[in-house]
Chain A
Amino acid sequence: MAAEYVPLRTKVVTKPFLVLAALALTGLFLIGYRYLAGLGAVTNLNDGYPWGLWIAYDVLVGTALGCGGYAMAILVYVFNRWEYHPLVRSAVLTSVLGYTLAAVAIFIDIGRYWNGYKLFLPWQVNLSSVLVEVALCIGAYVVVLWIEFLPTLLEKHREHPQAAVWLRRLNHALPVIAAVGILLPTMHQSSLGTLMVIAGGKLSPLWQTYLLPLFFLLSALAMGFAVTAVESIASSYFFGRPYETPMLAKLARVTAGVVAAYLVLRLADLLYRGAPVLSSGFLTGMFFLENLLYLVPLIFLVSPAAARDLRVIFLAGVALLLAGALYRFNVFLVGFSPGPGWRYFPAVPEIFITLGLISLELMAYLYFVKRYPVLPAEHG
């Protein structure tokens, strides 16, 4: 059988790579400072807004962007659509990186990190706490993702006798690994929404609902599909490889279905609760921006143009990523109001730490696609 995936084998250390390295170093330096001087020294977090950019972006958006592996696994393993299999590896790679960095970000964010291990002591955890579910599931999923990524690492060294043995073992365990790899994100991506139910009236009625878990799950799926398409098109463009056009066109249909379901449920929920959609001032604006970012790409994705024009799929994908990101920011920061007098906008070092983490992620991505069999083999 011809290899399904191949490494790019081009130079790793390029100019953009060095720029990313500089950003990553800046971030690491600031992270060091945070451990010496406390969270207040590098962030604008305060007692009204105890969660900020790191939770909203690194954890919420970061893991949702890391849902590519999850979304593709559902298509391939649950719906038996093996034609998407060539996209699975790069999706798993972005997931591995996104989730690993989210886990790192959590350890930068929590104030008493030396007690962090207590989250994993069964007699210590509070089973009523949604955060426990989120933390344990994300922790477990990081491990599962690395296991899912192992074949890629092993294939590079397939001459080694041990590697072959392990590859076979992993293949045997695949149904269980894949199933757990689908269950865990279903659990924690929805629980990330459940987290904010307890904020009650502090979260604007435009976003506060018992359906938060469902909305977070559906929007994470939409982001997973979108990120897979965007990443596939971008890597084909930058690395000068053929585009996966027919596959992406079909994927666009699936994405449109998820987004449509999300929007219909979201609208029904708002109507049912009688949320003050039009009379919430600034929040109304943010609400419309968020939902237009869903609606406009949806219209393009169901139009016949999407089947032919990759630019349409690319732009729609980017819009959907922005929509999902904005939804998460709206739920965790914009729509959250602890009362008069509290304000939050991320501080410069806070932003640079996030940029540093993103840079690390991109550097790792570039390294892996160039040295390991991640991208689909050319077939046309």
Chain B
Amino acid sequence: MAVSRRQFLKLAAGAGLCAGAGLSPQVARARPPVPRLPEAVGILYDATLCIGCKACMSACKEFNGLPPEHTDPRAIWDDPLDLSAKTVNIVKLYTHGTGLAKDREQDGYSYIRRFCMHCVDPACTSACPVGALHKDPRTGVVKYNPDVCIGCRYCQIACPYNIPKFQWDSPFPRIVKCQMCDHLQARGSYPACCRFCPTGASLFGEVRELLKEARRRLALKEGEPTWFPLRRVDSGSHTFRSAPAYLPHIYGEKDGGGAQVLMLANVPFTKLGLPVLGEDSIASHSETVYHALYKGMLLPYLVLSGLVYLVYRHTSKKDLP
């Protein structure tokens, strides 16, 4: 049977409606970027200062009540291979060639600490359907509330750094991730990793101050004698040494819409396993698409009223062959 002109027009109109609904995000204005909170706190990790002692790892486990992990049953030490529900902070190693020179991409090595970046505009909090992952409105720390979490694991799909971990072996599982020792901060203390780091490679402080400190380091000339704060950016205690070489990139300043954890290194961050992210957060992309379709539920209501009208007309005036 040939499709009549009238039928064709109807089909075309319907297809147009669907296409419009799908395409509108392209034309809609993007959701504006989220600014940094003025009192945000964070951690500056400087790979060139890190000696791979893993004091931050054992301190993290101790102060967060996390058990050691045996990935190799013969191992006699805590040997996680990656972040997991038992390990929310890990020090990894990059090596190349002879691996002799510290902080060199060629024939060298570098440490890299991995833990939650506490993003400025986190994908996990945008994705979480019940607000179980949420950003502290003052400090910006991304915290987890097991009382509302439904265990859907959409946060794991969303996080560009693969940070949230799930307790797969438990009948009553939780999501586990670094919460920047929020419980210690509530008592006026600060994250255990920074408190026990012997070299100042992990440094706690207000993000404003940490950014200033990171920029100061990037401005140093290699070999120039200088000082590095220990534990907290405002602790007043320092180590003195000559300035290392740095790649001119503060990872987390803008990457992925910015993070409250900042990183410095002399080996490209992609080599250290960090993802290449644009300057907009992925949450802003996703929410742009989503809000274009659902802002104020306007579009759904419009479509619904159109549908009710059409169905009503067509049920009373059946177009039978």
Q: Does B184 have its Cβ within 8 Å of any Cβ on chain A?
A: no
Within 8 A of B (CB), among A53-104: 74, 76-83
Q: Does B10 have its Cβ within 8 Å of any Cβ on chain A?
A: yes
Task: Name the A residues within 8 Å of B146 (CB-CB).
Answer: 112
Task: Name the B residues within 8 Å of A191 (CB-CB).
Answer: 290, 293
With A and B bound together, what is the CA distance between A115 and B174 in angstroms?
12
Q: Does B261 have its Cβ within 8 Å of any Cβ on chain A?
A: no
With A and B bound together, what is the CA distance between A132 and B285 in angstroms?
17
Q: Does B154 have its Cβ within 8 Å of any Cβ on chain A?
A: yes
With A and B bound together, what is the CA distance between A160 and B307 in angstroms?
33
* Residue interface mask A20-62, B partner, CB < 8 A = 1: 0000000000000001111111000111101100000000000
With A and B bound together, what is the CA distance between A213 and B300 in angstroms?
14
With A and B bound together, what is the CA distance between A51 and B154 in angstroms?
8
The answer to whether residues A83 and B315 also contact, given A110-B150, A112-B150, A126-B130 and a CB cut-off of 8 A, is no
Are B22 and A214 interface neighbours, CB within 8 A?
yes
Report the stretch among B50-58, B102-110, B159-167 that lies at the interface. Answer: B159-167
Shortest Cβ distance from residue A119 to the other chain B in the assembled complex, whole angstroms: 6
Interface of chain A, helix or strand or loop or mixed? helix
Shortest Cβ distance from residue A311 to the other chain B in the assembled complex, whole angstroms: 20
Q: Does A125 have its Cβ within 8 Å of any Cβ on chain B?
A: yes
Task: Name the A residues within 8 Å of B307 (CB-CB).
Answer: 77-78, 178-180, 182-183
Are B152 and A110 interface neighbours, CB within 8 A?
yes
With A and B bound together, what is the CA distance between A112 and B175 in angstroms?
10
Q: Which 3 A-B pairs have the closest CB atoms?
A: A111-B151, A214-B22, A40-B168
What are 24 residue pairs bridging A and B, where the CB atoms are less than 8 Å apart in the complex? A35-B171, A36-B171, A38-B171, A47-B162, A50-B157, A76-B314, A77-B307, A78-B314, A80-B10, A111-B151, A112-B172, A113-B150, A115-B149, A124-B148, A132-B129, A175-B308, A178-B307, A182-B311, A186-B303, A197-B289, A201-B277, A202-B157, A249-B1, A257-B11
Are B26 and A210 interface neighbours, CB within 8 A?
yes
Q: Does B321 have its Cβ within 8 Å of any Cβ on chain A?
A: yes
Q: Does B23 have its Cβ within 8 Å of any Cβ on chain A?
A: yes
Task: Name the B residues within 8 Å of A39 (CB-CB).
Answer: 166, 168, 173
* New A-B contacts (7) at CB < 8 Å, excluding given A200-B160, A339-B275: A51-B153, A111-B167, A115-B130, A128-B291, A131-B129, A249-B1, A307-B1
Are B171 and A130 interface neighbours, CB within 8 A?
no
* Residue interface mask A186-220, B partner, CB < 8 A = 1: 11001100111111111000000011111101100
Are B153 and A111 interface neighbours, CB within 8 A?
yes
* Residue interface mask A292-321, B partner, CB < 8 A = 1: 000000000000000100000000000000
With A and B bound together, what is the CA distance between A132 and B19 in angstroms?
23
Q: Does A350 have its Cβ within 8 Å of any Cβ on chain B?
A: no
Are A199 and B156 interface neighbours, CB within 8 A?
no
Are B123 and A131 interface neighbours, CB within 8 A?
no
Q: Does B283 have its Cβ within 8 Å of any Cβ on chain A?
A: yes
Are B26 and A179 interface neighbours, CB within 8 A?
no
Which residues in B have some Cβ–Cβ distance to A below 8 Å?
Answer: 1, 3, 7, 10-11, 14-15, 18-19, 21-23, 25-26, 82-85, 123, 125-131, 146-154, 156-158, 160, 162, 165-174, 273, 275-277, 282-283, 285-287, 289-291, 293-294, 300, 303-304, 307-308, 310-312, 314-315, 317-321
- Cβ contact of A74, chosen from B14, B156, B173, cutoff 8 A: B14
Shortest Cβ distance from residue A342 to the other chain B in the assembled complex, whole angstroms: 8
With A and B bound together, what is the CA distance between A186 and B20 in angstroms?
13
Chain B residue, CB-CB nearest to A107: B150
Task: Name the B residues within 8 Å of A36 (CB-CB).
Answer: 171
Most chain-A Cβ atoms within 10 A of its Cβ — which of B162, B165, B289?
B289
The answer to whether residues A118 and B84 also contact, given A41-B169, A45-B168, A125-B129 and a CB cut-off of 8 A, is no
Chain B residue, CB-CB nearest to A197: B286
Task: Name the B residues within 8 Å of A51 (CB-CB).
Answer: 153, 157
Q: Does A154 have its Cβ within 8 Å of any Cβ on chain B?
A: no
Are A176 and B130 interface neighbours, CB within 8 A?
no
Q: Does A116 have its Cβ within 8 Å of any Cβ on chain B?
A: yes
The answer to whether residues A199 and B171 also contact, given A116-B150, A124-B148, A341-B82 and a CB cut-off of 8 A, is no
The answer to whether residues A201 and B127 also contact, given A48-B162, A115-B151, A214-B21 and a CB cut-off of 8 A, is no
Are B286 and A194 interface neighbours, CB within 8 A?
yes
Shortest Cβ distance from residue A31 to the other chain B in the assembled complex, whole angstroms: 13
With A and B bound together, what is the CA distance between A199 and B160 in angstroms?
7
With A and B bound together, what is the CA distance between A76 and B321 in angstroms?
12
The answer to whether residues A198 and B169 also contact, given A174-B315, A176-B308, A186-B21 and a CB cut-off of 8 A, is no
* Residue interface mask A260-274, B partner, CB < 8 A = 1: 010001000000000
- Cβ contact of B148, chosen from A115, A180, A200, cutoff 8 A: A115
Task: Name the B residues within 8 Å of A212 (CB-CB).
Answer: 289
With A and B bound together, what is the CA distance between A109 and B26 in angstroms?
33
Task: Name the B residues within 8 Å of A200 (CB-CB).
Answer: 123, 160, 277, 282, 285
Task: Name the B residues within 8 Å of A361 (CB-CB).
Answer: none
With A and B bound together, what is the CA distance between A178 and B314 in angstroms?
11
Are B169 and A38 interface neighbours, CB within 8 A?
yes
Are A198 and B18 interface neighbours, CB within 8 A?
no
With A and B bound together, what is the CA distance between A200 and B158 in angstroms?
8
Are A201 and B276 interface neighbours, CB within 8 A?
yes
The answer to whether residues A78 and B310 also contact, given A112-B172, A198-B283 and a CB cut-off of 8 A, is yes
Are A198 and B157 interface neighbours, CB within 8 A?
yes
Task: Name the A residues within 8 Å of B158 (CB-CB).
Answer: 198-199
- Cβ contact of A50, chosen from B25, B130, B153, B276, cutoff 8 A: B153
Task: Name the A residues within 8 Å of B126 (CB-CB).
Answer: 126, 128-129, 198
Task: Name the B residues within 8 Å of A246 (CB-CB).
Answer: 1
With A and B bound together, what is the CA distance between A110 and B156 in angstroms?
13
